[in-house]
Amino acid sequence: MLELKIPGLAGKAFLVTGASTGIGAAVAIALAGQGASVGVHFHTSEVDARRVADHITSQGGTAFLVSGDMANHDSVGAVVENTATHFRRLDGLINNAGDMLGRVPTEDSSETHDREVVDLNSLSVVWACRAAIPWMKREGGVIINTSSIAARHGGGGGAVLYAAAKGFVSTFTKGFAKEVIKYGVRVNAVSPGVIKTRFHERHSNEEQMKAMVATVPMGRAGTPDDCVGTYLFLASDVMSGYVTGQTIEVNGGQFMI
């Protein structure tokens, strides 16, 4: 948890999708710690999401629990609308929800799996952004998408479609940033590397983790807290007001531009 006060976040309202665990939970807690009101989104992990929201409120912050399937168009719209309506504003959207949905080689995949991966990791970002813009037109805002190092190197075994979906996120970030800057809305992305979260607990065994960490110059996997500062930087107009259309890598040096 960062003790540094980031200017320009207090009093703002943010929605963090996929905020029940991992990077999303860390970002939601950090934003609340900066004085922002936070929509804590979850789909199936309600217990974890309530724990995040309870932590925020116990520290004097404001949290709103909101549930919804980010792979469903109408559900995504409802998640954004319910959060914005609750706070009567929406200043920031953190599109963090996503998952590999299993390591499945492309030749073994099915149309159903293909669509589930793309809907959750790619189209959910489009749908959420589209729903958020009418609110952000009022006073401007910030959108931060979560990409992945996989978008740069194509992903590991059984993760090609996930990597391609994250590549979509990185490209969409650039294009959408151009479309909405006229409304005073900045759009950027964070691209985490190997981060210790439930994502890797589900999809990477010990041998795979060791192999990935061996390629990281800093010699370790990252943590959700290692990512938080980049999200806060991009969320603050004072800190990054002239930054848009960018994807910032947070990977311990595993990939260098």
Positions annotated as catalytic residues are 162
Instruction: Give the residue among 233, 238, 165 at the shortest CA–CA distance from 246.
Output: 233
H-only helix segments in 40-180: 46-58, 73-87, 111-118, 124-136, 150-153, 160-180
List 195's β-bridge partners, or say none: 222
One-letter identity of residue 245: G
112 CB-near residues (< 8 Å, 6+ apart): none
The end-to-end CA distance of the chain, in Å, is: 28
Q: Residue 32: in which H helix or E strand, if any?
A: helix 22-33
Contact 173, 187 (CB under 8 A): yes
Contact 203, 148 (CB under 8 A): no
